[in-house]
Amino acid sequence: MLYQSLEQCLLDLEKQGQLVRVKEEVDPHLQMAAIHLRVHEAQGPALLFENVKGNRFRAASNIFGTLDRSKFIFRDKLALIQQLIELKNKPIEALKHPLDNLQAGLAALKAFPLKNPFAKPVLAQQIRITDLPLIQHWPMDGGAFITLPQVYTEDVDKPGIMNANLGMYRIQLNGNEYELNKEIGLHYQLHRGIGVHQAKADKKGHPLKVSIFVGGPPAHSVAAVMPLPEGISEMTFAGVLGGRRFRYCYEDGYCISTDADFVITGEVLQQYNKPEGPFGDHLGYYSLKHLFPVLKVHKVYAKKNAIWPFTVVGRPPQEDTSFGQLIHTMTGTAIQLEIPGLKEVHAVDAAGVHPLLLAIGSERYTPYTPARQPAEILTIANHILGTGQLSLAKFLFITSDDTNQLSTHHVQDFFQFILKRINLSRDIHFYTNTSIDTLDYSGTALNSGSKVVIAAYGEIIREPGTEIPGVVRELQSFKNPQLVMPGILVLTASPFVSYEETHKLMSTLDEQLCSHVELLKNFPVIILADDADFVASTLNNFLWVSFTRCNPSHDIYGINAITENKHWGCKGPLIIDARIKPHHAPPVEKNAAVERSLDKFFNKGGSLYNKIR
């Protein structure tokens, strides 16, 4: 089914038993987000909040809460999108089989946006920011945020919709120093198209005109997060995915998505920034308060009976996980075709996506030699770290599998493959003083930190251990050793105080273990944590703690470490210090009082009683 509006999509989900109407009054301050989190955790239905406290608009969440539901929403166009992407990657196939690809060609006609359509429902009424559902998600958030915005900007040098950018950048609606109803915060990160547009506008001394679309056909939200190649408009993709041309017009010089439920227009002025945040974000921590651009609000529009869509992000997996899975379903092998030799790459959601990449490449450089060691996969690793959003990765584990049976999506099996082959004196490669994800606070400053590539390939040199060695149980200054998985141990260490103290602690650990390297050969990795039991209890806990709380250049150590010709390695286990540091952002945590307030919704007689497993 092809949806002309958000409401049409929600009604269709309701017919399938995939949506529940919440009829009780709900508080946009923490309570709505808490309901969403509980339902999403149970893989429950989409939610339509019909009675938002102090607000006349309805709100919807968990629309894309599961991959199956996301596939259902786009069931009529998924195969077509896959075909179009395949044709882009293999254009000769289209020439060889023109009749087979006729449908794809006809569908591409939907890609052309439609200017000035007869119907413009979003212009039905002009409202204010304070008329919107001001939803605060986490207790320490700096205010209310838009979490499913479609932020539209144009290139001042090449104006018009075909060269425009549509991205999903969070918007702070109130709080901090923003002048209510007149200013809102615009947060965007590295490698975002809007940054190019603002730089060009600033250079010309022009304010950047911005339109924020909220709601509309679900294809518009997906288009805003789709990693499209440069030069391809998100609006054209929205048209193909939704089977309906993107409809737009201009009002006061601003582009208006006429199918949206809400539109906010305004200008970003050069060098006019204000503190934005904090915000509980998708790494599972708060992104803290920093200076970001301010949008001077021009006008706010809403269609009659508009619905406000939102999501809640926090420690993964959350609803945005389904976005990533849906994108992977649509794009298939696109990245592999872009990077020669790459067979598979996986941004691990449980570790916050950008902190951890797993990859499988080819090893074809020297087939004439018997030695099997990393060569081509190092070239592939550099290509990965130079490609779009993949460049924000902090840890990249890469290998090659001659049997083609290994998968990056089977995370523990992948780690076992690496652990069996890693040569700790050869396979660790650091990138210091470089950029990392804006939301990652493990580094030295905002956007700044380090990376490490662990490229392990060759014959099996160990079988990962499963029995904790006695020498580890007898360590001083460390306690409660636990087995995370075969080959990886975690120890509880004293709380982090400073790097000076940590260097002393690492020296103590090295002194205790350096003479026992042979006994530890089957445990190539040791994690230091604040709570070993928590880290070892689940695979996701291990992934989240180990890779979000470590800055490779500062927090990786080694037993019996060596530096030869400026290459660092170690003869004993690799040590990852994954303790919380004073400069880290605090993790998001639920509010106990708010959690208790949810009983009326989930107990007998409540709208959500018996609606989730």
3-state secondary structure of 14: helix
305 and 434 share one domain: no
Let me know if residue 599 belongs to a domain: no
Locate 515 and state its tokens.
């003479």
Q: What is the pTM of this model?
A: 0.92
Quote the pLDDT of residue 283. Answer: 93
Locate 430 and state its tokens.
């650091």
The number of domains in the chain is 3
Question: Which residues contact residue 36 at a Cβ distance below 8 angstroms, ignoring those fewer than 6 apart?
Answer: 47, 61, 62, 310, 311, 312, 319
Let me know if residue 611 belongs to a domain: no
Cβ atoms of 172 and 273 closer than 8 Å: no
342 and 264 share one domain: no
Quote the pLDDT of residue 45. Answer: 97
Domain CATH number, residue 486: 3.40.1670
146 and 234 share one domain: yes
Identify the bridge partners of residue 58 per DSSP, sorted by sequence position.
307
For residue 256, count other CB atoms closer than 10 A to its CB. 22
Q: Is the dihedral of CA 62, 64, 387, 160 positive or negative?
A: negative
Quote the pLDDT of residue 2. Answer: 87
Cβ atoms of 491 and 478 closer than 8 Å: yes
Locate 352 and state its tokens.
């916050």
End-to-end alpha-carbon separation of the chain, Å?
A: 28
Can you tell me the distance from the alpha carbon of 411 to that of 464, in angstroms, rounded to the nearest whole number?
15
Q: What count of residues does the chain have? A: 613
64: alpha, beta or left? (left if phi > 0; alpha if psi -120 to 50): alpha
Domain CATH number, residue 436: 3.40.1670.10
Can you tell me the distance from the alpha carbon of 73 to that of 93, in angstroms, rounded to the nearest whole number?
29
Cα atoms in the Cβ-side hemisphere of radius 13 Å centred on 598: 21
CA distances to 470, 476, 506, 566, 587 from 494, rounded to whole Å, are 21, 11, 12, 31, 19
* H or E segment to which residue 328 belongs: helix 319-331
Q: Which domain does 357 fall in, by range?
A: 321-455
CA-CA-CA-CA dihedral for 280, 286, 291, 293, to nearest 10: -20
367 and 390 share one domain: yes
Identify the bridge partners of residue 264 per DSSP, sorted by sequence position.
212, 300
371 and 294 share one domain: no
Cβ atoms of 482 and 536 closer than 8 Å: yes
Let me know if residue 593 belongs to a domain: no
Domain CATH number, residue 208: 2.30.110.10
180 and 276 share one domain: yes
Write down the residue that tokens 């945590």 correspond to: 589
Spatial CA neighbour of 32 closest among 65, 11, 59, 64: 59
CA distances to 60, 320, 595 from 278, rounded to whole Å, are 23, 19, 21
Q: Please report which residue ranges of 455-521 form alpha helices under DSSP H.
A: 470-473, 499-513
Spatial CA neighbour of 262 closest among 6, 9, 4: 6
Spatial CA neighbour of 59 closest among 169, 144, 133, 128: 133
- What does the DSSP assignment read for 163-196? G-EEE---EE-SSTT--TTTEEEE---TT-HHHH
Spatial CA neighbour of 597 closest among 32, 23, 22: 32
pLDDT tens-place string over residues 466-520? 999 999 999 999 999 999 999 999 999 999 999 999 999 999 999 999 999 999 9
Can you tell me the distance from the alpha carbon of 220 to that of 166, in angstroms, rounded to the nearest whole number?
9
Let me know if residue 94 belongs to a domain: yes
Write down the residue that tokens 């001042």 correspond to: 156
Residue type, 235: M
- Decide which of 299, 319, 339 is a domain's last residue: 319
Let me know if residue 590 belongs to a domain: no
Question: Which residues contact residue 459 at a Cβ distance below 8 angstroms, ignoring those fewer than 6 apart?
Answer: 372, 421
311 and 328 share one domain: no
Cβ atoms of 359 and 408 closer than 8 Å: yes
395 and 438 share one domain: yes
101 and 240 share one domain: yes
pLDDT along the chain (613 residues), means of 10: 94 97 97 97 96 97 96 90 67 43 55 92 97 98 97 93 92 97 88 81 92 97 84 86 94 97 96 95 94 96 97 94 86 76 93 94 80 90 90 95 94 98 97 89 90 96 96 94 98 96 96 94 97 98 97 97 96 97 95 95 92 77
- Decide which of 319, 338, 358 is a domain's last residue: 319
Let me know if residue 354 belongs to a domain: yes
Let me know if residue 602 belongs to a domain: no
Quote the pLDDT of residue 438. Answer: 83
Q: Where are the beta strands (DSSP E) in 277-333?
A: 279-280, 286-287, 290-302, 307-310
296 and 352 share one domain: no
82 and 184 share one domain: yes
Let me know if residue 464 belongs to a domain: no
Quote the pLDDT of residue 97. Answer: 44
- Decide which of 455, 480, 499 is a domain's last residue: 455
Can you tell me the distance from the alpha carbon of 252 to that of 177, in angstroms, rounded to the nearest whole number?
27
125 and 161 share one domain: yes
